[in-house]
Structure 1
Amino acid sequence: MLEYVTLYNLLGMHQKAYDTIMNHRFRAWEGAEGRISGQYKIALTEMAKEEIVKKNFKAAKELLEKALLYPVDLGEGRLEGIKDNNIYYYLGVVEAELGEAERSEECFKNAELGVDEPAGAMCYYDQPADMILYKGLANRKLGNTNAACVCFNKLMDYGEKHLYDKMKNDYFAVSLPDFLIFEDDMNQKNRAHCHYLMGLANVGMGNKEEAAVQFKKALQYDFNHQNCRIYLKMVKEAVC
């Protein structure tokens, strides 16, 4: 079921993904460790972004607020360390458009929480790299230009520094998100991750064309990199 939902989201069928999730009661072995809750939030956030493009800000707000709640049928709660910076960032944007300045600032302050140090692509409990992008974007909205630049620069630095690292499987790790580790080329995954981080950095810096180049390079190494597809679409539509 998790794979069906992921495919729906990859195809841009976010309403279908959401409906499929809500019509199934998930067990821990079907998509825990943040995977099904991640797809749940992707579906709702992407629908909200579509409403923002259409300037339906109230509808976007409802979807984003729903994304912060974890229905019982997901079979899991919020993982430790998850800050949902992206959701709070878009809530800040929406509240500003609705004339709620104080609420908007509060949302941006929630969006700039968390660490600004990127990690590798291996452990499910690490802060997702794109949360650092939104931490930077939120800081920019709050007028903290230097803090925003730090976030973007750290994404870029990590990608450039680790692009050609030689990776090894940790066969005794307890936090790997996939069961297919023995079939994966970890060097390929690392290069995809590094190009992805450089793409995120360029999004934050306003270099949309270069961001698209980096996301496309990442997809050459990992065709099913879901976030690359999300952000590649985002830079084309300028939804940030």
Structure 2
Amino acid sequence: MIVLLGVLVVILGFATRRNPLLVVGVAGIVTGLLGKMSPQEVLASFGESFASARSVTVFVITLPVIGLLERYGLQEQARTLIGKLGKLTTGRFLTLYLLIRQLTAAVGLTSIGGPAQSVRPLIAPMAEAAAETRAGGPLPQKLREKVRSHASGADTIGVFFGEDCFLAIGSILLITGFVNSTYDQHLEPLHLAMWAIPSAICAFLIHGARLLNLDRQLERELAVAAAENDLTAHAGLRTEDAK
């Protein structure tokens, strides 16, 4: 039980807002030493874990490419494109992206999207441009952040509920492998994937409705912001007149 003190290190580290990488690293070292591993064995364990999971860091390679594309106007072109589609609102655009993200994840294409690969350079700017087209001008920073959060949410929900419909995804294989080996069952990945389809459909309907309702929310908040600006401007004029 003493090796569980490593969990306490993680809790204390996150509670005091320390660097997550440092916290996890220290927790791993503490757990290894309490488990009567030598420093060499702890270091070897870190190396083996990194080598076996190095594919997780492949996405880092895409970051310089995305940065270069943004430098040469990727976001501006995305905004221009969406600005030409006057009837495409923010909610409709994000609902369409949610559908595409779910369908691509359902056939195993989970890596073609993501916060770094698509949301920040493409989806969020296009959603903002759609809102600005409807508003007739730039968005307040609060609404801009709201649109960005919904863009990221559409991506996350789409891939989360869509990927389980693909029978060769890691989570499906992990569940079937664990159940079959532990409980002596013969559960097939296809069975789990089929049962994930109703959940994916419900997720699309529920979150799609939330995204479509986003248009009305933006209209109301834009009206409130415009009224506040008018009051501020009117108060400024009265102050100048009083002087």
Q: TM-score, normalised by structure 1?
A: 0.23
Higher-Rg member (1/2): 2
The structure whose RCO (Cα within 8 Å, separation 6+) is larger is: 2
Q: TM-score, normalised by structure 2?
A: 0.23
User: Higher helix proportion, which one?
Assistant: 2
